Amino acid sequence: MEEQENIQWAVAQLDQLEADSRDYKQKALLLGIKDLLLEQQKRTEQIQGQLDGTLWSPNDWGN
């Protein structure tokens, strides 16, 4: 769960930086970084679920 806490902390920091920024390009960059981080988190969860499913399915062990 530590990874989840790290992501939440990073998102909070990015939100604060975005709120404090007055530069449009910087805000756009920070928002893009946040979106990328959240997408990576989602994909990590999906691939972990896929791996767990494969490990527990004897039918997939030979593939």
Is 59's pLDDT higher than 80?
Answer: no
Query: How far from 29 is each of 7, 34, 38, 46, CA to CA, in Å?
Result: 17, 9, 14, 26
Is 58's pLDDT higher than 90?
Answer: no
pLDDT digits 0-9 by tens, 2-40: 888 999 999 999 999 999 999 999 999 999 999 999 999
At residue 41, the pLDDT reads: 94
Instruction: For 54, list phi and psi in degrees, rounded to 5.
Output: -70, -40
Domain locations along the chain? 2-56
Higher pLDDT, 63 or 50: 50
At residue 17, the pLDDT reads: 98
